[in-house]
């Protein structure tokens, strides 16, 4: 479906993508992860023909991107992170406009709009002005627009940014359902639990390079051998940061979660004692397992990436 | 594809009441106000100059001079008591343009060979040179009349024929010169409506800068343009999708404003607009103006970073082009050097084209140059905007 060979992109002297090689098969949901500035958006923009690249070869649907961009775009769609909608048009007018500029007419127009409305659960909102919709409803419309050309390949750039959990769940279910239709999805997000929930494969980018690519389950399985995840009852960010200074193997995932890489019994005992001394209540300890956030933090060179 | 773009632009515009006001209501009100405010400009009965007379001579001749001045429709006398310098200054700072002082000995000196001044003229500091020249001309003519009358009286006993001729010549003063306005019928005058409507049509058409750049920048900022680009919409197609609806909007503006000139202005006491002889010429100029206005709008929208920047820059450019282009101050009021400068403003090209049609009675052939220059200007700006937008999009801005 997607084949990228030795892709290089640089802006003046700054290398944004450094000899990227990546293959994505049909029907795969690939999570594209990376800290800010890793090159995720650049890669997705290149794949959509929005920006040029200097070296390398890209084939999508077996077609060379540089020569067959128009044909490739007709079979794919891109949903940007920002809400690329018209606030002064109704939901239906937005859908009809974006279908119209893609020359979708007649029966196909009705069919594709119905499909997008159904996938985005937009039925009750069709006559509402987009400007008055909630953040979650706008996100659903943003995604629905990307379905109007019935694409085989869909790119989503942070499609759930800034919305409530209910809308997020609904959007994730929708995207997951594309797999049943045989569609391929490239999904970039900072929310690791989302990636874990819907993606089959993960590619982690750091400083313009793909540092890990593979099946999500296999990657988590490889990591699980000697790590411990501790979840706390309440947020204790300051104390956890202090703990990382004392124990190098401790990594803070968020204010209530930490991981410990390969501790022996003495080290683990010392860390648990330190938590007890700080009167921090432990909710759960998981041995021999990890999650994507822990893996991501361990792999990427920046500890302060946006997660 | 174009249908979808056209529909979208129209819906967005129709739902933006501020844009509608800027595009249609404001220029129409401008036309109404300016046509009515200036409706007496071409009336010979309209008083332009106000004055008072201090008559220290108190003779039949000084009284006659006063009568002559009173009979002139361009002048209006105000009775003001002036006995000292302070009162004089106050009067000239207020409603008076001139104080005409007739000194003692005026009648006596009227036909002497002395070169001393016959009258004293005090002038308000805000009086324009052409107003002073007008009054001086009137006064010189009235003094010559008084001299002729005096000479006629003195000659009558000796040369009755000459005196009779002089008497006859006095009566046809108003018919001495026949005025004929270029490309207008006999006894027809240009009207303020005919002169001001073209100016405000041109000005109003450039108001598309504000709604157009607002929509375009929102599309850029919200990545709608990027999304359209990913849907195979190229920059030329994108621009064409903007051109078509806004050309139609501009044409609606033009005919709305012409309609205001024809039907609405007369209801408020102004002169009705007449269309001229060439509808095709009118279309040519307005199409050229559309391209120039849309090119300007898109270039501003592409270069500005925010809607606030675009509306501020757009407003300033609009006013500057209007001021330089003779929309706000008619070209003939300007100095020679300023008149040269008007040639750099596309509004001036459009205005000249419209004046050719509305005022000078010309046909389509006369406005080809203006129309093509405007279209070329618009195309050049669109080309520049396209290059800038392409470069920005490639850089992901």
Q: Is B316 on the interface with A (CB under 8 A)?
A: no
Residue of A nearest to B232 (CA): A70
Predicted confidence (pLDDT) at residue B220 exceeds the cutoff of 90:
no
Alpha carbon dihedral B225, B230, B234, B237, in 10-degree steps, equals -70
Is the CB of A100 inside 8 Å of chain B's CB atoms?
yes
Residue with tokens 């202090």: A242
For residue B278, the model assigns a pLDDT of: 86
Query: How many angstroms separate the CA atoms of B44 and B63, rounded?
Result: 24
> Edge-to-edge strand order for the sheet containing A14-24?
A14-24, A2-11, A55-60, A63-64
In whole angstroms, give the CA distance from residue B226 to residue B242.
16
B55 touches chain A (CB under 8 A): no
Beta carbons of A100 and B1 less than 8 Å apart: yes
Residue A130 and residue A86 in contact, taking contact as beta carbons nearer than 8 Å: yes
Residues 6 or more apart in contact with residue B350 via CB below 8 angstroms: B202, B205, B285, B288, B289, B292, B325, B370, B374
Provide, rounded to the nearest whole percent, the portion of chain B with pLDDT above 90: 29
Which pLDDT score, from 0 to 100, does residue A302 have?
46
- Among B15, B226, B233, whose Cβ lies nearest the Cβ of A88? B15
pLDDT at B147: 87
Q: ipTM score of the complex?
A: 0.77
Using CB atoms, which residue from A88, A96, A102 is nearest to B12? A88
- The structure tokens listed for A98 are 């974006």
**Placement of tokens 């009235």 in the chain:** B142
Taking residues B268-278, what's their average pLDDT? 82
**B239 three-state secondary structure:** helix
Contacts of A73 in chain B (CB under 8 A): 230-232
Predicted confidence at residue A305, as pLDDT, reads 41
Q: pLDDT at position B183, please?
A: 63
| pLDDT tens digit sequence for B259-272 | 998 999 888 888 88
User: Taking CB atoms and an 8 Å limit, are A93 and B394 in contact across chains?
Assistant: no
A306 neighbors A35 (Cβ within 8 angstroms)? yes
* Nearest chain B residue to A9, by CA: B395
Predicted confidence band at B187 (pLDDT cuts at 50, 70, 90)?
Answer: low
Q: Within its chain, how far is the Cα of A269 from the centroid?
A: 36
Burial class (CB in 10 A: 0-12, 13-18, 19+), B301: buried
Could you tell me which residues come within 8 angstroms of residue B18 by beta carbon, excluding any fewer than 6 positions away?
none
Residues of B with Cβ-Cβ distance to A149 under 8 angstroms: 231
The 10 Å Cβ neighbour count of residue A238 is 10
CA distances from A275 to A256, A294, B154, B215 (A): 12, 20, 129, 56
A225-289 classified as CATH 3.30.70.100: yes
Measure the CA–CA gap between B353 and B292, rounded to whole angstroms.
14
Taking chain B, what is the end-to-end CA distance rounded to the nearest angstrom? 25
What average pLDDT score do residues B209-236 get? 89
List of chain A residues whose C-beta atoms are within 8 Å of the C-beta of residue B11: 88-89, 93
Which residues partner with A153 through β-bridges?
A: A76, A184
* 3-state helix/strand/coil string of chain A: CEEEEEEEEEECCEEEEEEEEEEECCCCEEEEECCCCCCHHHHHHHHCCCCCCCEEEEEECCEECCCCHHHHHHHEEEECCCCCCCCCCEHHHHHHHHHHCCCCCHHHHHHHHHHHHHHCCCHHHCCCEHHHCCHHHHHHHHHHHCCCCCCCEEEEECCCCCCCHHHHHHHHHHHHHHHHCCCEEEEECCCHHHHHHHCCEEEEEECCEEEEEEEHHHHHHHHCCCEEEEEECCCCHHHHHHHHHHCCCEEEEECCEEEEECCCHHHHHHHHHHHHHCCCCEEEEEECCCCHHHHHHHHCCCCCCCC
Task: Return the structure tokens found at B250.
Answer: 């501009």
Closest of A239, A215, A210, A241 to residue A304, by C-alpha: A241
Q: Do B394 and A11 touch (CB under 8 A)?
A: no
Spell out which residues of chain B touch residue A52, defining contact as CB-CB under 8 Å: 394
Q: Does B128 have pLDDT greater than 70? A: yes
CB of A136 within 8 Å of a chain B CB? The answer is: no
For B227, the closest of A51, A84, A96 (CB atoms) is A84
Residues 6+ apart with CB under 8 A from A56: A4, A5, A6, A7, A8, A19, A20
β-strands A63-64, A55-60: how paired?
antiparallel
pLDDT of A84 reads 92
Q: Does A174 touch chain B (CB under 8 A)?
A: no
- Calculate the CA B131 to chain-centre distance: 18
Phi, psi dihedral angles at B255 (to 5 degrees) = -75, -30
- Looking at residue A304, its pLDDT comes to 43
A104 with A114: CB under 8 angstroms?
no
In total, the C-beta contacts within 8 angstroms joining chain A to chain B are 79
B36 or A105, which is more confident: A105
B101 forms bridges with which residues in the sheet? B54, B120
A100-104, A303-307, B124-128, B338-342 — most confident range:
A100-104
Q: How many other β-carbons are positioned within 10 Å of the β-carbon of residue A26?
A: 12
Residue B389 reports pLDDT greater than 80:
yes
Taking the CA of residue A71 and the nearest CA in chain B, the distance in Å comes to: 9
Whether residues A86 and B227 touch (CB distance < 8 A) is answered with no
Give the pLDDT confidence score for residue A225 in this predicted structure.
57
Mean pLDDT is highest, among B39-43, B83-87, B160-164, B364-368, for B364-368
Q: Which residue has tokens 């411990």?
A: A228
Q: What are the residue boundaries of the structural domains of chain A, listed by start?
A: 2-220, 225-289
| Cβ within 8 Å of A, B 90-149 | none
Residues B146 and B157: their CA atoms lie apart, in Å, by 18
pLDDT in tens, B79-117: 888 888 888 888 888 888 999 999 998 888 887 776 778
Q: Lowest mean pLDDT: which of B79-83, B116-120, B169-173, B228-232?
A: B169-173
**Residues 6 or more apart whose Cβ sits within 8 Å of residue A135:** A162, A163, A164, A167
N- to C-terminal Cα distance for chain A? 29
Structural domains in chain B, CATH included, are 2-40+195-394 (no CATH), 49-175 (3.40.190.10)
Query: Min CA distance, B232 vs chain A (Å)?
Result: 6
Q: Do B226 and A50 touch (CB under 8 A)?
A: yes
Note down pLDDT in tens along chain A; length 307 residues: 899 999 999 888 888 899 999 999 999 999 998 888 888 889 999 999 998 899 999 999 999 999 999 999 999 999 998 899 999 999 999 999 999 999 999 999 999 999 999 988 899 999 999 999 998 899 999 999 999 999 999 999 988 887 887 888 888 888 888 888 889 999 998 778 788 888 999 998 888 899 888 888 888 777 655 678 788 887 777 888 888 888 888 877 777 778 787 777 788 888 888 888 888 888 888 776 566 777 777 777 544 444 3
Structure confidence at residue B41 (pLDDT)? 62
Residues B128-142 have a mean pLDDT of: 88
Give the model's pLDDT for residue B300.
94
pLDDT at B44: 57
Scored b (16 or more CB within 10 A) or e, A144-176 reads bbbbbbebbbbbbbbbbeebeeebbebbbebbe
Yes or no, beta carbons of B222 and A83 under 8 Å apart = yes
Residues of B in contact with A89 (CB under 8 A): 8, 11-12
pLDDT the model gives residue A306? 41
Average pLDDT on B304-329 reads 88
Of A86, A103, A145, the CB nearest to B1: A103
| B17 at interface of A, judged by CB pairs closer than 8 A | no
- Test mutation, B232, B238, B241, B307, chain A, max A CBs within 10 A: B232
Q: Domain A2-220 belongs to what topology?
A: Rossmann fold (3.40.50)
User: Contact, A116 vs A145, CB < 8 A?
Assistant: yes
């Amino acid at each position: 479906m997607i084949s990228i060979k030795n892709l290089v992109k640089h802006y003046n002297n700054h290398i944004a993508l450094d000899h990227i090689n990546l293959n994505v098969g049909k029907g795969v949901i690939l999570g594209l992860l990376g800290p800010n500035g890793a090159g995720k958006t650049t890669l997705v923009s290149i794949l959509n023909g929005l920006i040029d690249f200097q070296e390398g070869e890209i084939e999508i649907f077996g077609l060379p991107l540089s020569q067959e961009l128009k044909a490739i775009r007709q079979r794919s769609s891109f949903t940007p992170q920002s809400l690329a909608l018209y606030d002064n048009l109704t939901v239906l007018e937005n859908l009809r406009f974006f279908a119209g500029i893609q020359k979708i007419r007649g029966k196909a127009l009705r069919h594709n709009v119905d499909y997008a409305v159904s996938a985005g659960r937009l039925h009750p909102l069709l006559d509402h002005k987009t400007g008055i919709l909630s953040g979650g409803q706008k996100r659903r419309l943003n995604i629905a627009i990307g379905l109007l050309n019935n694409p085989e390949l869909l790119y989503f750039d942070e499609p759930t940014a800034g919305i409530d959990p209910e809308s997020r769940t609904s959007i994730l279910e929708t995207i997951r359902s594309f797999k049943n239709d045989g569609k391929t999805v490239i999904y970039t997000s900072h929310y690791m639990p989302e990636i874990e929930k819907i993606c089959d494969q993960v590619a982690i980018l750091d400083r313009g390079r793909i540092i890990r690519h593979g099946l999500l389950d296999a990657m988590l399985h490889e990591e699980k051998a000697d790590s411990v995840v501790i979840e706390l009852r309440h947020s204790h960010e300051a104390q956890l940061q202090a703990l990382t200074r004392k124990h190098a193997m401790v990594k803070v995932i968020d204010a209530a979660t930490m991981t410990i890489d390969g501790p022996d019994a003495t080290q683990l005992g010392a860390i648990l004692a330190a938590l007890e001394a700080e009167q921090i209540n432990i909710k759960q300890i998981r041995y021999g397992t990890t999650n994507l956030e822990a893996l991501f933090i361990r792999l990427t060179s920046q500890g302060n990436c946006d997660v | 594809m174009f249908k979808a773009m056209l529909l979208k632009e129209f819906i967005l515009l129709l739902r933006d009441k501020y844009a509608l006001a800027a595009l249609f209501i404001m220029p129409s009100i401008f036309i109404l106000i300016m046509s009515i405010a200036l409706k007496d400009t071409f009336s010979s009965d309209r008083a332009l100059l106000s004055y008072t007379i201090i008559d220290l001579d108190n003779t039949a001749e000084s009284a006659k001079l006063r009568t002559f001045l009173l009979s002139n429709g361009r002048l209006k006398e105000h009775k003001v008591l002036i006995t000292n310098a302070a009162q004089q200054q106050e009067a000239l700072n207020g409603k008076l343009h001139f104080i005409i002082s007739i000194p003692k000995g005026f009648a006596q000196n009227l036909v002497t060979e002395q070169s001393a001044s016959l009258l004293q003229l005090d002038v308000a500091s805000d009086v324009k040179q052409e107003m002073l020249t007008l009054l001086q001309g009137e006064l010189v003519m009235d003094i010559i009349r008084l001299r002729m009358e005096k000479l006629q009286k003195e000659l009558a006993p000796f040369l009755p024929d000459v005196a009779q001729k002089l008497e006859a010549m006095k009566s046809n003063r108003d018919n001495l010169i026949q005025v004929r306005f270029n490309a207008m019928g006999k006894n027809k005058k240009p009207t303020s409506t005919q002169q001001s409507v073209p100016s405000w049509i041109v000005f109003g058409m450039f108001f598309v800068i504000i709604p157009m750049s607002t929509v375009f920048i929102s599309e850029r900022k919200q990545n709608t343009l990027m999304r359209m680009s990913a849907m195979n919409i190229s920059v030329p197609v994108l621009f064409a999708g903007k051109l078509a609806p806004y050309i139609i909007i501009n044409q609606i503006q033009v005919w709305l404003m012409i309609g205001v000139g024809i039907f609405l202005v007369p209801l408020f006491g102004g002169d009705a607009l007449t269309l001229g002889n060439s509808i095709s010429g009118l279309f040519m100029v307005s199409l050229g103006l559309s391209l120039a206005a849309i090119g300007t709008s898109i270039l501003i929208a592409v270069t500005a970073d925010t809607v606030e920047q675009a509306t501020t820059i757009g407003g300033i450019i609009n006013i500057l082009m209007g001021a330089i282009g003779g929309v706000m101050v008619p070209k003939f009021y300007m100095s020679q050097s300023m008149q040269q400068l008007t040639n750099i403003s596309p509004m001036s090209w459009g205005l000249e084209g419209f004046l050719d049609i509305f005022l000078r009675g010309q046909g389509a052939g006369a406005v080809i140059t203006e129309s093509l220059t405007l279209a070329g200007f618009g195309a050049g700006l669109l080309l520049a905007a396209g290059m800038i937008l392409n470069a920005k999009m490639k850089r992901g801005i």
